[in-house]
Amino acid sequence: HLEVLSVQRTSLLNDMRNALLNDQFELHYQVLVDANQNPVACEALIRWNHPERGLVAPDEFIPLAEQTKLIIPIGEWVFNKSCQVLKTLQQRYGEDFRLSINVSPVQFADAECKLLKWPEYLSGNDIQPSSIVVEITEGLLMDNKGKSLSALLHFRDAGFQVSLDDFGTGYSSLAYIQEYDIDYLKIDRHFVQQLNGPADSAILCESIIVMAHKLGIEVIAEGVETLEQQQALADMGCDYVQGYLYSRPIPLAKFI
């Protein structure tokens, strides 16, 4: 059984190496709306158009891309593509419209640290760094090797916005969140989806929102699927929501 898995892994890996060359990746965009339901931003989510397998979801290839560091060139592609579409999005939704990209801790830890060049790229292309939101996960803040954190500080100093993804699933301390000047907390969708279930989830969401606001951080709830969840989050003062209730991630042509 393990052998089968390793053969599958090798073939997926070979295919992934060619995917960049053959232009098989694609970004889909999912809207974020504010408390008045106005679109304010979107999140870019990668898809892989595999010639035989069809559309492959990121959960099926991102972990392998991270293990093999292929996520570094893939992440560079995501950043470049996002910069290319930003102008189009801002023409359609206004110049304050933001674009979020997911950045893997592997990209931050990379010895060459390609992403340190991103701010330069933006200024060369006349893009406001505050239009780009970098979504990181809690693990990055707890990595005490220093390198990743100094890259994160470099981003912050360059004016990028930073969002802490999947919040509530890890062990981030408040001290880290303040020290690294996080702009947004994204409440993990598992908490949002239990909002109308056991009361604990509602207490948790509300505490996150109150705490974040005290620290001057805005809160995004992801995975909002029902009007009940939307209402509960609005009552708690959640700043932004994202989820199938508003839209699934869709190709650019449908988004604009």
Please choose which of ligand C2E, Ca ion, none residue 223 contacts, taking the beta carbon within 5 to 8 angstroms, the exact cut-off set by kind.
ligand C2E
Tell whether residue 239 is a contact of Ca ion (CB under 5 A): no
Q: Considering just the CA atoms, what is the radius of gyration of the chain in Å?
A: 18
Q: Quick check: 168 binds ligand C2E (CB under 6 A)?
A: no
What distance in Å separates the CA atoms of residue 5 and residue 241, rounded to the nearest whole number?
38
Q: How far apart are CA 79 and CA 81, in angstroms?
A: 6
Of 39, 58, 73, 129, the one binding ligand C2E (CB under 6 A) is 58
78 forms part of the interface with ligand C2E (CB under 6 A): yes
| Residue closer to Ca ion, measured from CB, 53 or 190 | 190
Question: Of residues 135, 180, 192, 240, which one binds Ca ion by CB under 5 A?
Answer: 135
Max Cα–Cα distance, the chain, nearest Å: 53
By the rule CB under 6 A, 163 interacts with ligand C2E: no
Per CB under 6 A, does 57 bind ligand C2E? Answer: yes
The packing angle between helices 58-67 and 71-93, to 10°, is: 130
- Is the CB of 102 or the CB of 172 nearer to Ca ion? 102
Give least dist CB 2 to ligand C2E, A: 25
Measured CA to CA in angstroms, residue 95 lies from 54, 159, 211 at distances of: 35, 16, 30
Q: Where are the beta strands (DSSP E) in the chain?
A: 25-34, 39-50, 54-56, 98-102, 132-137, 161-167, 184-187, 218-221, 240-241, 250-251
62 belongs to the binding site for ligand C2E (CB under 6 A): yes
225 binds ligand C2E (CB under 6 A): yes
Indicate the helix (H) or strand (E) that contains 202. Answer: helix 199-214
249: contact with ligand C2E by CB under 6 A: yes
CB of 180 to Ca ion, least distance (A): 17
Helix, strand, or coil (residue 32) = strand
241 touches ligand C2E by CB under 6 A: no
* Minimum gap (Å) between residue 74 Cβ and ligand C2E: 7
- Residues contributing to the site for Ca ion (CB under 5 A): 102, 135, 165-166
